[in-house]
Structure 1
Amino acid sequence: MSGGGYYSKCSVSRPVEWVKGKTVGSGSFGSVHLAMNKATGGLFVVKSAESEAGLQFLESEAEILESLDSPHVVKCIGKEMCGGGKKLNLFIEYMAGGSLADVTEQFGGKLDEMVIRLYTREILLGLKYLHENGIVHSDLKCRNVLLSSLGDVKLADFGCSKRVKQHSAAGIAGSPLWMAPEMIQGGGLDCASDIWSLGCTIIEMATGNLPWAGKISNPMAAVLRIACSDDRPNFPSHFSQQGLDFLEKCLERDPKKRWTAEQLLHHPFVLDKNLGNNSSFVAAEKYAASSPASVLDKSIFPETDYSDESSSDEEDEDEEDSPVPKPSGNRFFPFSMLCENKIGVSEQQLRFGEQWSGSEEEWITVRTS
């Protein structure tokens, strides 16, 4: 299939003629395909949407990406409106390494802590850039962080992203297991919510499981627990004290006390000892906090995949074989809308957690305007 239509102004050369390749992903907005620039042979990715809701979110992502220029954010190559304005194609640079979720799965189901440190620092640099420009990503997770074959890390999927000054509390979207408590409660959009999601993303990398795995019986239970309890996801039992302290700073339930991306960039956890300054790691012994890995007693839910401080020695070992869901396109809703019964889902959908087997397609996809 060749492209045609009109294009936007973008940061790198956009294709004039292109051919669509195989599907590499999909979401609630539409599809994602590998594509080739016929003039250069270069590869890129095309995200396409035809539904009214899909067009809205893809146009929002295009508007955000076109305004950004950072080595830590995927670059927009162009966009094309066709079909009489009923279909939008968004062209984005190709990241050959895939997502962090793909890499974690391909390398044994969990990543070494040193690699996590390196990736976390790159993610923080991307978040710092976004936040300095008044943008909240709103859907940070391993599946939305991409890698090049050389290890470059870039933030992707800006369909849920918002500009802080132009957005109210209503209509927030994101992925529930990564969302900060104040977001689910409908408390408004703030950069601090991305930091909570970063903590959840680190747990993904360290365990190969989703945040809240073993603590949550179904998606609706997840919403209630995140919004209404004082709990946090269990921290990886094998993490260093630096790593645990870093997670404490990310997963502080009070957003006003949560560290910023700028502050976290100075944390010993993301200061690479291979960069020639070992003093930061020597000083880390004095810096590391002695706070517990979890604020509540052992979960009442079965098959806990990582333990908290109250667990026994036998429970401290991560259970690698437990089934874990891996949703990708799951956008959710403010908790207040759940209470007011305004989300427009059926009773059967709300009870679907009873047969929750771990497939990413089994998550309810809900977005609000």
Structure 2
Amino acid sequence: MGRIDECTSPLPGEWMKGKLVGSGSFGSVHLAMSKSTGGLFVVKSSQSCDGALALENEAMILESLNSPYVVRCMGIENGRGKSCNVFLEYMAGGSLSDVAQIFAGAFDEDVVRLYSREILHGLKYLHKKGIVHCDLKCKNVLLSSSGNVKLADFGCAKRLKDEGNPVLSTAIGGTPLWMAPEVLRNEGLDFACDIWSLGCTVIEMATGRAPWAAEISDPVAAVLKIACSSERPQFPRHFSSEGLDFLAKCLERDPKRRWSAEQLLNHPFVSGNPMRVSRKGETFSPASTLDDIATYDDTSECNSDCGDESCEGNEFAVRNPFSRCSDERSRNTVKPVCHFESSEFWITVR
């Protein structure tokens, strides 16, 4: 099947570079125009070896993808030595961070719900393809003029598996304030890392500030607190109970208990389905239609042989024989050497 709204890569000399629209550690981003069609796109350019490698990685991953929730790559142009250009789809609305600044710095909860659902569709697609984005935040989510949301900036992305086989990686990149605790502890990379970053991005959308901004002002203290404490970033105080529950599912410090993108798409915060209440008065969200079936007593014991400690004390897993006692997603864990790289300054506190 052909790529959606397929565009061909501009030939050398057949495109013009326009004004600067962004920059980062890899290089710069300019608006560009095709001389043959007059169409607009953006070009990411690098003038360093590390930047060229990041752009080549981004192009390689993007060229293997075909989703309305992921920014489209039109091609790559390698120059001599350190020079590299990657041609990408132009998203007229800019990043969610840019848009938020235009509208009082933050989004209403209804808009956060909408954008969160679109981001989740993108993450679900990536994870099925065996790819972890690794640097999800508002600056890396783009908006079209018609309201379409697409994931962008795959310079730190990693492929955990290729055709079902694990792929080894040597480095982890990202922006520390959005990174999952297990990643900062160098315990490996998994799809759950993106879900933690999604929770941080939701906080960013709702408050107009980076996660942890209210709690931490020192970068070193930030990394230590995220990696080693039992705390989570402060949730928006004005959020609904559904929004708070959604954040709790994303920002679960144990990655094995963190919900997957597919499960979160069924959460009331983004799906519109009602929140359920258990016999003990606790709220929970059905992860599937089977999860709404209650046939066991709250006092029953789990008879599952899953061996997962997360079954203990999990009322919902006990009361529902069809519910998985823990997240049984297959995981391909990579234990790379961690270093903080980012498409911009590694930490931002407003």
Check conservation: 2:95, 2:138, Cα contact below 8 A.
yes
- Residue 85 of structure 1 and its aligned partner are, at CA, apart by 4.4
Distance in structure 2 (CA, Å) of the matches to 1:77 and 1:289: 49
1:113-262 equivalences in 2 (<5 Å)? 113-165=109-161, 167-168=167-168, 170-262=170-262
Check conservation: 1:195, 1:259, Cα contact below 8 A.
yes
Question: Partner of 2:8 in structure 1?
Answer: 13
- For structure 2, which runs of at least 5 residues remain unmatched after alignment? 285-334
Check conservation: 1:170, 1:186, Cα contact below 8 A.
no
Question: Partner of 2:48 in structure 1?
Answer: 51
- Residue 284 of structure 1 and its aligned partner are, at CA, apart by 2.2
Question: Partner of 1:73 in structure 2?
Answer: 70
- For structure 1, which runs of at least 5 residues remain unmatched after alignment? 1-9, 273-279, 292-333, 344-359, 365-369
1:94 is aligned, of 77, 82, 90, to 90
Note closer, same or farther for the CA distance 1:191–1:146 as it changes in structure 2 (3 Å cut). same
Check conservation: 2:275, 2:283, Cα contact below 8 A.
no
Distance in structure 2 (CA, Å) of the matches to 1:68 and 1:290: 37
- Residue 182 of structure 1 and its aligned partner are, at CA, apart by 0.4
Check conservation: 1:33, 1:45, Cα contact below 8 A.
yes
- CA deviation profile, 1:319-355 (whole Å, cap 9, x unmatched): xxxxxxxxxxxxxxx99868xxxx9xxxxxxxxxxxx
> Match for 1:172: what amino acid?
I
- Residue 179 of structure 1 and its aligned partner are, at CA, apart by 0.1
Q: Secondary structure at the match of 1:244?
A: helix
Distance in structure 2 (CA, Å) of the matches to 1:56 and 1:21: 24
Distance in structure 2 (CA, Å) of the matches to 1:337 and 1:263: 29
Give RMSD over aligned pairs. 2.3
Check conservation: 2:173, 2:338, Cα contact below 8 A.
no
Which structure shows the higher helix fraction? Answer: 1
Question: Partner of 2:324 in structure 1?
Answer: none
Q: Secondary structure at the match of 2:171?
A: coil
> Match for 2:268: what amino acid?
P
**2:24 pairs with 1:33:** no
- CA deviation profile, 1:3-53 (whole Å, cap 9, x unmatched): xxxxxxx95222231000011000101110000111111110000112111
- Residue 223 of structure 1 and its aligned partner are, at CA, apart by 0.5
TM-score (normalizing by structure 1):
0.73
Check conservation: 1:22, 1:34, Cα contact below 8 A.
yes
Check conservation: 2:46, 2:85, Cα contact below 8 A.
yes
Distance in structure 2 (CA, Å) of the matches to 1:60 and 1:225: 31
- Residue 105 of structure 1 and its aligned partner are, at CA, apart by 1.1
Distance in structure 2 (CA, Å) of the matches to 1:256 and 1:128: 17
- CA deviation profile, 1:303-328 (whole Å, cap 9, x unmatched): xxxxxxxxxxxxxxxxxxxxxxxxxx
Q: Secondary structure at the match of 1:77?
A: strand
Distance in structure 2 (CA, Å) of the matches to 1:178 and 1:337: 15
Distance in structure 2 (CA, Å) of the matches to 1:131 and 1:19: 35
- CA deviation profile, 1:85-135 (whole Å, cap 9, x unmatched): 431100000000010101111111110101110100000000000000000
1:318-357 equivalences in 2 (<5 Å)? none
Note closer, same or farther for the CA distance 1:170–1:289 as it changes in structure 2 (3 Å cut). farther
Q: Secondary structure at the match of 2:32?
A: strand
Q: Secondary structure at the match of 2:124?
A: helix
Distance in structure 1 (CA, Å) of the matches to 2:254 and 2:169: 17
Q: Which runs of 4+ in 1 moved over 4 A?
A: 166-170, 287-291, 334-338, 360-364
Note closer, same or farther for the CA distance 1:218–1:290 as it changes in structure 2 (3 Å cut). farther
Distance in structure 1 (CA, Å) of the matches to 2:22 and 2:124: 27
- CA deviation profile, 1:198-227 (whole Å, cap 9, x unmatched): 000000000001000111121111100001
Distance in structure 2 (CA, Å) of the matches to 1:249 and 1:69: 28
Check conservation: 1:170, 1:188, Cα contact below 8 A.
no
Check conservation: 1:169, 1:186, Cα contact below 8 A.
no
- Residue 361 of structure 1 and its aligned partner are, at CA, apart by 5.1
Note closer, same or farther for the CA distance 1:87–1:186 as it changes in structure 2 (3 Å cut). same
Note closer, same or farther for the CA distance 1:182–1:192 as it changes in structure 2 (3 Å cut). same
- Is 193-202 or 48-57 further displaced after alignment? 48-57
Aligned length: 283
Distance in structure 2 (CA, Å) of the matches to 1:257 and 1:362: 28
